[in-house]
Structure 1
Amino acid sequence: MILIVTHREDYTADFLVNILNQRNIEYLRFNTDCIGLKHKISFTTKNDTEIAIDGISHFDSVWFRRVKVPTISFSSFEENDFYNKDYQSFFSNLWNTLSTNKWLSNPNNIYKAENKIFQLSVARKLGFSIPNTIISSDSKEIQHFSKENGEKVIIKPLYRSRFLADGKEKIIFTNNLKTNHLVNDSFICFPMIFQNEIEKEYELRVTVVGEKVFAAQVDSQNDLDTKLDWRRKTLKFKAYNLPIEIQELSVKLVKELGLGFGAIDIIKSKKGYIFLEINPNGQWVWIENDTGLKISDAIIQYLS
């Protein structure tokens, strides 16, 4: 049986679950925000250390998608903070004790691979070209870096670019570094990623599932709004014939990070292929819908 770890609002899980239902493949969808409402967790050390989810103590494979804590209202910030931290500790214990033959992917490796500094160092070690990069809050260092790169520098967050505000998901897009940023102490008050701006021909999303590689191209340079960050608009992706050496590097990177899945962002420039980052648990349904690339089949095959 496949265990799917997710939450009620995960449309990517919905997409795959529909296919599993059509093919009569056995699975348990574990919506972590429904613990206590729908799902029951039990822990015992009677014979051996064992955790069961809805009475099932072993799964053939686990597809780890997303985690949400069940919503409970508290009267103070401190109580809410304690509740969330205690739940995160519970989840950590759960993943490290759960009995399974295979993860896609192990959450401990996912969380480690989300570290963008770590990603870049591993990618370069394997042979990827990467942008000139500094991560700093030192305005003098950033000014020097900007001059070295012809005043063409981009900024992006060190952690995830998506966050919730007033119940809605917001995105911090990649932006240009401007002169007024360098003299604004309130702007450069914590470490951010600064990279040389690379002249693009187009951009690629390379999705890796085990040994299989699915490459999709987006023509981000045809619109001023999407030149720096294609996420500013809904653009159509198309299947792309990725050179075999970049395919092999992509598979090596995912393996080196201890993952079974990775969504890699790559720039195609006149000088070649430039690695930007890898999302170890990225979205992919829109890629399949746009291109017809059967990423879902590869995921099901991996888990089965």
Structure 2
Amino acid sequence: MSERGDGAAETVLAALRRRGARLVGSDSPSGGVPVLWWDNGDYPARSRITASFAGGRRRLLLDTGTATVDLSRVTAVWRSRPSGPRAADGVTDPSQRAHVQIQSEVMLDGVWSLLTARWLPGRRADELRAHNKIFHLARAIDLGFTVPDTTYTNDPARLAGAYESASGRLVAKQIAAERFQIDGAPHRAYTTVVTRRHLTSRHRIQHEPIILQPYVPKAVELRVIVVGERVFAAEIDVSASTTARDDWRHYDNDRVGYGPHDLPAEVARRCARLVADVGLTYAALDFIVTPGGEYVFLELNSNGAWGFVELWAGLPVSDAIADWLMDGENL
């Protein structure tokens, strides 16, 4: 389940085909486990979904325009990068388009709740809950991860105290890493090192909650990918980059080094347990490894990117996802 052009979906689809799967609507109609690539954005404009209940039985049907799928037969669903429901182009009024989206989301959530399929990383509600930084940080602490002292707040009075507690080495982060616009241009907030100058404008915090943490010294950073019970760890070495030094998401690839990391067995087990504990089958976890070798947990992304882990660190994440989706299928 993903929007068209999703490179991750293309990569996994290729891995599924190598395992004998066939794409519904375009491949040979015989042989192999059928795989459907569908996006929520095709509904309701280009697809039809019917849920019917009669005579004590229920039917869940998806008509994509090229194929009709009995959803009760679906065994596994991967929510990669689905877009939201989209009204037909003929519905032009903004309020009516918003109304269509709300009604369609309710319909989809109801239908998906009735599927007995396995979900990666999980159904939308499970994914959203697990993605909440407050929720998963609390669970990480419960499981014994090392976590920086962390404050979530919109109280300006908290900033000075956090700054002093961190001995002047404090960072601020968004509570939800969503893009936004400034003067009509797309913008993204990265990890920000707090300075004394920020303290003079601390009143601005009241308008939006932020995360405050002490700056953690790093040997390398890690992106850990969990697929079911399989765990992959990629090192991100930002030591040669001033641009990505405080936040590797700047992707200064000419100066940042990537490679596989040998994660201690206990840390790997704890990562898999955390993902299962928050109700998911997949997640991306971010860590800092300190110069002293301590593994410091930062956050969990319930549908975090893994393509660069495979491409630049050489870790077979797409094969792991394909294996998970095909698990139990008879070829």
Name the SS for the 1:218 alignment partner: strand
Q: Does residue 1:33 correspond to 2:48, yes or no?
A: no
Q: 1:40 to 1:167 in 2, by over 3 A?
A: farther
Aligned match for 1:136, one of 153, 156, 165: 153
Aligned-partner Cα distance in 2 for 1:218–1:279: 17
Name the SS for the 1:289 alignment partner: helix
Q: 1:236 to 1:44 in 2, by over 3 A?
A: farther
- Give 1:208 deviation, angstroms: 0.8
- Determine the structure 2 residue equivalent to 1:64: 79
Task: Kindly indicate whether the alpha-carbon contact (under 8 Å) linking 1:154 and 1:196 is maintained by their aligned counterparts in 2.
Answer: yes
Task: Kindly indicate whether the alpha-carbon contact (under 8 Å) linking 2:223 and 2:286 is maintained by their aligned counterparts in 1.
Answer: yes
Aligned-partner Cα distance in 1 for 2:59–2:185: 38
Equivalent residue runs for 1:143-222 within 5 Å: 143-163=160-180, 170-184=187-201, 185-222=203-240
Q: Does residue 1:276 correspond to 2:284, yes or no?
A: no
Aligned-partner Cα distance in 1 for 2:19–2:233: 26
Equivalent residue runs for 1:57-96 within 5 Å: 57=71, 58-68=73-83, 69-70=85-86, 72=88, 77-96=94-113
CA RMSD of superposed structures (Å): 2.3
- Give 1:56 deviation, angstroms: 1.6
| 1:30 aligned partner, one-letter code | W
Which stretch of structure 1 is more off in the superposition, 198-207 or 182-191? 182-191
| 2:79 aligned partner, one-letter code | F
Task: Kindly indicate whether the alpha-carbon contact (under 8 Å) linking 2:127 and 2:303 is maintained by their aligned counterparts in 1.
Answer: yes
Give the TM-score of the pair, scaled to structure 2.
0.83
Aligned-partner Cα distance in 1 for 2:309–2:185: 23
Aligned-partner Cα distance in 2 for 1:147–1:166: 34
| 1:33 aligned partner, one-letter code | G
Equivalent residue runs for 1:236-251 within 5 Å: 236-251=257-272
**Unmatched 5+ stretches in structure 2:** 22-33, 63-67, 327-331
Aligned length: 299
**Unmatched 5+ stretches in structure 1:** none
Name the SS for the 1:283 alignment partner: coil
Name the SS for the 2:263 alignment partner: coil
Q: Identity, % of aligned pairs?
A: 27
Deviations 1:36-89 (A, max 9, x none): 454331111124233222332221111122321225566555334333333332
- Determine the structure 2 residue equivalent to 1:106: 122
The ranges of structure 1 where at least 4 consecutive aligned residues each deviate by more than 3 angstroms after the TM superposition are: 36-39, 71-81, 161-170
Aligned-partner Cα distance in 2 for 1:77–1:142: 40
Q: Does residue 1:55 correspond to 2:63, yes or no?
A: no
Aligned-partner Cα distance in 2 for 1:168–1:11: 25
Name the SS for the 2:69 alignment partner: coil
Aligned-partner Cα distance in 2 for 1:166–1:283: 28
Name the SS for the 1:226 alignment partner: coil
Aligned-partner Cα distance in 2 for 1:236–1:202: 10
Give the TM-score of the pair, scaled to structure 1.
0.90
Q: Does residue 1:257 correspond to 2:278, yes or no?
A: yes
Aligned match for 1:119, one of 133, 136, 145: 136
Name the SS for the 1:300 alignment partner: helix
